[in-house]
Structure 1
Amino acid sequence: MTDTKLKTTDEIAWALVEQGFTIIPLGSPFEKITEFFLKQRCKGDEEKAQQQWPKNPLVSWKQYQDKEPTDDEIESWAQRWPYANYGIITGKNVVVVDADSKEAVEFMESGKVGRTPWKVKTAKGKHYYFQYDNSIEIHNSVNTTTKIDIRGEGGYVVAPGSVHHTGVVYEWEIDQTWPINSVHDLPYLSRDDITQIKAFNTEDKPVGNFGFSVQAYTPKKHDGSPVEEGGRNNAAASLAGQYITAGHDLKTVTQLVAQWNNGNPAPLPREEINTTVASVTLTHLRNNPEAAIPLEHEKPEPQQPTIEVQDEMPSHLYKVPGALGELVDYANDTAVKKQPALAVQTALALGSLICGRYYKTDQDNFASLYFLNVAKSGEGKEHGKKIIESVLETAGYGDLIAGSGYTSTGAVMSQALAHPNHITLIDEFGKYLESSHRKGNSHKEEAITQLIEVWGRCDGVLRPQTYSTMSVKKEDVERPQRVANPAITLFGMTTPGTFYQCLTPQLVRDGFLGRFLIMESDLPMQLSVKPDARPIPKSIIEWTRQVRTKLVGNLIPFKPSHEMPKQHVLFFDEKSLQLLDEFEAELNDKKQQLTDSELYVLLTRTREKAMRIALILSLSVDQANRVIHHSLTQWAIDYVRYLDFRLVDIVTRRVGGSDFETELKACIEVIRKAGKKGLSRRQMRDISVFSRLDPQKEKHIFNAIQGRGIAAFHPVMKTRGRPRLECWIHADFCTNN
């Protein structure tokens, strides 16, 4: 007790803010109880006051449900109450499950509720921290019998680092195996979890083989990602319902759900999958008497259409010239679900890394590029990451693989100082972007700013921001803090929904988006195939090693980052320069058309990207090349033109000049894609762009849609089956109804 009292708690407060929490000061065993609290709140009962004071807010705290306290306010709290406890506002970024008994803790850790890496030991149990899902209203609930409460909107919990009236300190219990940097990276407390908690509190028993009541279950659509124990049945039911609604026969639905189940850490028994599909099928038929679900289609499923039909990318771009073309073939042959367009990105990303820093053109272009692969969940977008890792590890260059993303500007600089030429492979890149723009996560936002700078510093020197050296050791101050020719390759993967949800005007204007080569797969959901299990071709490994060593002599694998390495220069032939000039003129015309909307920013790096790809291709064809042939420059121009013009079209349809216009465009695009059938308000509730709108903004959105004549509202929409209520149809299809 004495040691704890001697320590002021301002450091605890600032650490909580850094993690993304909204905090308020509370009393503590070491702060004097006020007369008002003792006499008015506790009726003079000193024992009661001592018990309740460490949880009592010292300020009028409800205002902080809607706003963050300023730095000055937090500073004043720290000075006024140096030994205060702190509380965390819930229902904003975080929701907390308070398990206040041994039985409650055992239930929370039984697997029936989703796991979280952030827990706090309390005097009687544990607090379990989850990210707040804005699509679900979660209010405070208290259960005095089972001692398991939920702290959501309008509530707060005592923060870790605080002291209970008994002297017990609330202590973090963090699972270090999870890559969690702030509250924005935590798993959500799902509707399924809440249902399980309510069942525990009311001692309800699970119904049937599902492990939950079908009648009471209104599932949030599952995206097909793997699920831990406790949420598998609900996810399986959601997927089965989606596949049935999409028109699949019962056999295919069962195969698709079983295929997803096999990817879970602990798969459900096959019998349980069959029971789940059967139960969802019966429920669907009860709710839709006119529907019919065939057991199996009479005709076999048609073969997957050719690439030209499914994807508008010119056919010649699926074949990368040279050794990297072999890598494309290998990636497709070894994939459970083939994604040819994403395989091209994979090959170019490997080339970007291997050629980075040590090769350049006579126009001072380097090979470093940023790539983003976009595909539906579970459709093979992660295969590229596996391929890159396997090639580098086999070739002996596994140390070129950095961590999955950067948490701050310092993280970018630290990794570049250690490895000036490296690759970062980022899963769920859309969520990484989204979290970087959230309030309270400025470090990730600054990391993105640093990555923007690095992209253009390949031919120069990267220097860190200036910090105070008062507390830094002399030898650290004298160590060179600069990186010559930084060469970072970024390879991200995300789903369309997550990616489009985080598109904002700021992301366009700051130039980060325009530095990427973004490839979205248009292929439909596929059934898995047995992949070729052959090893990586020796020619690819040999090419990787030769490019890194032969042409520039005996390369030092870890040449000091502040020293400029020996570089091999390749020259564009005259025809290449002519093609690039013509391409620049084409880009200028396109940018002129986009000046008013500021989307021209997306094309400011397009020519540079083509030149970097041409450099990679020349070395892919022959490690000894001295001249970049115009056929390779043409391939690079065609590739970048296709991707960047497509990106401009996507952003034009989805991003406006303000946050409201961006949300409006996202809603319009969803209605447009629904076609002549339109979208009912009930269907909209299951789509994220609508479900995350608050009632006031939703009203403004629909007023704008109707007022601008973008879509028409039908109170009752006649169909072959039941009439559909409150249906919106895009103006492009209104004449057909």
Structure 2
Amino acid sequence: MSLPSLAMAAAPPMLSRTSTACGAVSIRLGRRLKFRGRRGDAGYPLLSETFVSMVALPVPNAELSPFAEGYEELLACGFHPIPVLPRDKAPGERSNGRWRALTAWPQFKDRAPTVFEITAWKSWAEANIGVVVGTAIGPHKLLVVDIDSHDPDEVNEIRSAIPASPMVKTGAKGASLFFRAPVTLTSKGYNIKGKRVVDLLASGRQTVMPPSVHPHGPTYRWLAGPVPAHELPLFDETCLERLEDTLAHLGWGGDVAEQARVSRKPMDRHDDDPSVWQEVNEAAMSNMGAWVPALDLYGCRPVQRGGYEAVATWRPSGSGERLEKRKRNLKIFPDGIRDFGADVGYSPLDLVCAANNWALDDAFRWLKDRLEFNEEPVFVVAESTLPPPPAPRMEPVNEKSSGAFPKHLLQVPGLVGEIADFITSTANRPQPLLSLGSALAIVGTAGGKVYGGPTYSSLPLYILALAESGTGKEHVLSSCTSILNRALGEDYVGPGSFMSFSSVIRVLQRSRPTLCPMDEFGSFLKRIKNPKAGGFETAITGALRSAWGINFGSMPTPEWAQTRSTLLHSPCMSIYGASTPEDFYESLESEDIGNGFLNRFLILPSEESPDEEDDHPPFIVPASILDGLMAVQAAGPALAVATMNNRQADGPLIQAQWADDGAKQIYRDLSKNIKRRENRVWYARTAEMAVRLATIVAIGIDPAKPIITQSIMTWARDLAEWSGDRLVRDARRHMARGDFETTLKKTAAFMREKGRATIGDINRRLEGIPTRMVEDIIRKLLESDQIDELAKIEGRRGRPTRVFDWVGD
């Protein structure tokens, strides 16, 4: 008998099927490599690990994350899976190569994730997997009874009080049982002797699923199931009463926790905290001067023992006093934070949330920036105390840069993705990231002057492909011209360079949207920014800044001796520039940050050096791409476009719409978070850039009715933020050395003119300059006896501020 036949003969009848009740493969190879049927069903013995290793079965992908291993079966059973931080319990997402909290996960209570979202999530190395609780199951909803106890007798007594479930999981302790429940049941928690013993998880909660890795090391595993959601037993009010009677017998006093987040002692670790929150809290407690003054608390002042005291303005006065008469009952010390007026303790993150009325994720970002964690990953996965697994799930990282491009962002649906794949497949030296930029510029140009985003933004993009010479950027650049010319005609292709300001104006005056493919873009910038350049050259950057932000408004041209000023309505010119990183960054100056020239660019740096490929297909643009671009262009009739150019329209002819409030909220959160960034001037156009990118992708999916879904907006946000992060990091790295002396002279001139200035005055004058450089410049001026630092004075809301006097020549 052959080995495969032997395996089927030895296995119970269930194993001869090709799928389980949920539609997933029934012969499963997990971490322990064994056959199984539904756990907990009698009569389905497990085959030994040794025996299975003898059978000629496919070997699973050792690189698969817990999410990639588990999502398919859960989806087939009717559940809504979401990604969870590695070795943690909190929903998480990867953005710009970093882990951070996934704040928008509650949306998946009302909808299953899309194919686009799943494709991205399953590519994230080490991602744990969770399921959103409270999802609809016919007239009922999903409910989980989570028994959190190390005492097996206690666990068994609680389980005996509730219905048996065919779907049970466990992690480090206890068990979680899955049920259907009436929609009226809510999340509740039950404490016995001060410890949480049972949680009812309903709407607004999620639970971590097998085969995720627990924060303390063990892998979540199934004790029974999973089964289709509609097969789960009902847990109703009668079951709840029986459970509460049993808990009362075990010592429950009758108090119910409604699952609100409870303030904890600052240094307490809690199982529900992502490990990095604890890490940031601990760092904040040991470095209070870095963040407490920046909170701008009312009446905040330093006190002995390295602490602070202030007024907790987010709660009313217990004695009814007016604000200016209230006592400083909020005490902030390295060994604890407490509001003695309300007898409430805070962690640093709790305090930032309360003081600003922020969500926890916003507070984390703010506190991280103040503690100068900017160069660290947003979420640092806690190290396990157990030996590492034999095949760690780590995606390859480019060692040249910690800001390696997240590969899942290359997976773009619709026409944009099709064009990007075509450019990559026909290249001698494939550059997928640069191809994606080219595809965005091409589709955006085809839809220019006609389409607009839901925020009334237009579609011009300034995209800059940065790569070393001889690595393939030339093919991508020439593809812009070839594809647009073949699909729509040469009128859509602009010049490869600008010799003067007037040449920019002539391109903007064209009736058609235009894409300018510009090679050696860094050299072009050096030329127009050279101190010896003429006025008509140096004015080019001003024209480019103005044209990018006009959207569907009007831009007046200059008036010359022989030429009257005219209005350009809805100018639409995109740039796809290519340069080496050195040429580009050497052309920049600090004023390019402050005046907004840099933040209008989508920077796409590629550090790949692909080998030359000779067997690529010829560059013959597929009919599907030509037809797709013509469909986008044809959505705006020639007469309508002409009307727009003659100032008879003040908005897009076709406006992309938000698919739902969730998509719109992603944009709002991005805009809000940018305003809180320490380096916000670098990111000032990131939100608008993201909307343009999302609109272009939506147009490529459905030109007649472009809809921006949450998954599209998430992709656009991540791409725009990654570009901004790389711009900040790389610009600082390249510009710091040459810019220091220039900025030092500028600061000295400012102080000489002003005479006396606060640190806030100097920061505003040097907006966009890294904080460390500002401090180095102040130190240099102090050491050279050009300025004196005075005693601190009380500034706004009692906050002490530094003051400097000019004493130089």
TM-score, length-normalised on structure 1?
0.44
Q: Indicate the structure (1 or 2) with the bigger Cα radius of gyration.
A: 2
By percentage of residues, which structure has more helix? 1
TM-score, length-normalised on structure 2?
0.41
